[in-house]
Amino acid sequence: MSLLVVGSRRSAVLGRGLRCISCTTNSSCARKVTKRSIPEPLFQQSTVSFRSFRTASCLHAKVTKHFPLADIGEGIAEVVVKEWYVKVGDRVKEFDPICEVQSDKAAATITSRFDGVIESLEYEVDDMAKVGSTLVLIEVEEDIPGTEVQSTPEEEIVSPSTDSESDRVSVLATPAVRRIARENDINLSSVPATGKQGRVLKEDILRFLQGQTGPPQRPSDDTPTLVPTPAPPTPSPSPRPPVASPVLEDRVEDIKGIRSVMVKTMTAANAIPTFGFNDEITMDGLVAVRSQLKGVAADRGIKLSYMPFFVKAASMAMLQYPVLNSSPNSDCTKLTYKAQHNFGVAMDTPSGLVVPNIKSVQEKSILEVAAELQRLITLGAAGKLGPGDMAGGTFSLSNIGAIGGTYARPVLLPPEVLIGALGRMQTVPRFNRKDEVVKARILNISWSADHRVIDGATVARFSNLWKQYLEHPATLLADMR
């Protein structure tokens, strides 16, 4: 049974008994509070609420925070600042975008850790920023705790009959959640709580702001999920060639951004002795297979080029020659054989040359490889490739023939030990088995391998198997797992 005690700090609970409201001493009173000692109407309308609390005095101070560039992984030590999303004087909140940075592996958006006002930007666009250095200075407000004052137990009347008093019901929530509620004039007691012990979470209040009054409903296993099929992409018009502006006088510019990253990567690659191997592939059989599968791919919203076939054939051939999917350590005393086939595809983007990779090619079908390649191309064109798209590559292919040329000398991307460059497919005259001149579609391939750990015979055998898969696609399908 709940009892109501009317009074101020003079009344308190001692042991299991209730002290009489007329007593002011701390000694136990013989006159215990009973149901008879409380007026009947008041007893029926209210309930007891006993609450002890602390009060604290606080001072608010403005403090300048140094916001450093955090480690974004993959051994990246420095990045290029590509774009600022804020300027001096702007007010930002936690998780608001601050800037976009670019490394040799990926682009990333840096978000704020604080609520405050931007005091200064420490870098200009295209400057090189080191991990751990200060990106911006942010002025924030902090609470400086003062002297705490311990109060005596407080009794209050909580009546469920009036809305104004029901707002006083204690609600479990973090200070951040309470701040969101205060800024949006929300009564926390009206927000459905999904946390432990009835705690209101940040997700709860955000759903409340969006008009959803309960926790998200999870679909039942019996309910079928409809996956919409994306429409096939519309072909984009051919870009116009850039209009060349003549250089009227000598000028000097800094090598920065992607170019500075390329300088370091290529300088490291130049220290590795490489073995080159070239060959040509007859593409007639693959052209016919691709023509048959283009309609199936288009129905699934996938653009099917020849590259998925090249990538998948390389993965299957590499199962026979796993040393080509390995990487040496820095002093080339140990060799790590990679279980995953994370194959990179070089892309010419507005930001420069990038090589995102398709993860676990050995586990994907040709159409799955094509879908992932399409996603990477879209992100690359928009400059939105993330660190996960760039990290962990084990082998690379460059489709330089899309621009022009037949043979090339591709440069390794350490610590990978093999890279291939595809030339332009062209129709040329060839002799068939009857010594008749026929038209043939030919594509040239150029390989470069780390000659410290890969011998020429291994590259040649791998290339022959890769070539067989492409010239006779039936064998590719027969060996596919």
Tokens (6 digits) for 66:
């140094």
| Mean pLDDT calculated for residue range 70-83 | 76
Within 206-303, strands assigned E span 274-282
CA distance 259 to 263: 6
411, 377, 465, 364: which is closest to 264 by C-alpha? 411
Judge whether residue 11 has pLDDT over 60.
no
Tokens (6 digits) for 22:
């007329």
Could you confirm whether 455 is annotated as catalytic?
Answer: yes
Name the least confident of 18-27, 173-182, 322-331.
18-27
At 73 the pLDDT is: 62
In this prediction, residue 75 has a pLDDT band, given cuts at 50, 70 and 90, of low
Q: What is the pTM of this model?
A: 0.59
Contact 344, 352 (CB under 8 A): no
At 105 the pLDDT is: 61
| Mean pLDDT calculated for residue range 125-151 | 75
At 95 the pLDDT is: 83
| Mean pLDDT calculated for residue range 189-203 | 76
In this prediction, residue 481 has a pLDDT band, given cuts at 50, 70 and 90, of confident
3-state SS assignment for residue 11: coil
pLDDT tens across 274-313, in order?
A: 999 999 999 999 999 999 999 999 999 999 999 999 999 9
Judge whether residue 93 has pLDDT over 70.
yes
Q: Higher pLDDT residue, 51 or 375?
A: 375
Judge whether residue 72 has pLDDT over 50.
yes
CA distance 256 to 101: 13
Judge whether residue 58 has pLDDT over 60.
no
Give the number of other Cβ atoms within 10 Å of residue 8's Cβ: 9
Report for 125-129, 172-176, 206-210: range of highest mean pLDDT: 125-129
Could you confirm whether 451 is annotated as catalytic?
Answer: yes
Residue with tokens 């000694």: 27
| CB crowding 329-360: b at 16 or more within 10 Å, else e | eeeeeeeeebeebbbbbbbebebeebbbbbbe
Q: Higher pLDDT residue, 100 or 145?
A: 100
At 5 the pLDDT is: 39
At 16 the pLDDT is: 40
Contact 480, 315 (CB under 8 A): no
At 42 the pLDDT is: 42
Q: Higher pLDDT residue, 156 or 403?
A: 403
At 261 the pLDDT is: 74
At 185 the pLDDT is: 78
Sheet of strand 134-150: strand arrangement? 54-68, 134-150, 116-121, 91-92
Give the mean pLDDT of the chain: 77
pLDDT tens across 335-385, in order?
A: 999 999 999 999 988 777 889 999 999 999 999 999 999 999 998 888 788
At 237 the pLDDT is: 52
CA distance 307 to 401: 12
CA distance 424 to 451: 27
At 410 the pLDDT is: 94
Report for 66-80, 97-111, 329-343: range of highest mean pLDDT: 329-343
Q: Higher pLDDT residue, 421 or 245?
A: 421
- The active-site residue out of 90, 451, 472, 479 is 451
109, 101, 113, 112: which is closest to 76 by C-alpha? 101
At 313 the pLDDT is: 97
Within 134-283, strands assigned E span 134-150, 154-158, 274-282
Judge whether residue 398 has pLDDT over 60.
yes
What are the CA-CA distances from residue 364 to residues 156, 360, 394, 467 (Å)?
66, 7, 16, 20
| Mean pLDDT calculated for residue range 395-422 | 93
Judge whether residue 250 has pLDDT over 60.
yes
Judge whether residue 449 has pLDDT over 70.
yes
Judge whether residue 17 has pLDDT over 50.
no
CA distance 417 to 393: 11
At 479 the pLDDT is: 84
Q: Higher pLDDT residue, 166 or 449?
A: 449
At 391 the pLDDT is: 87
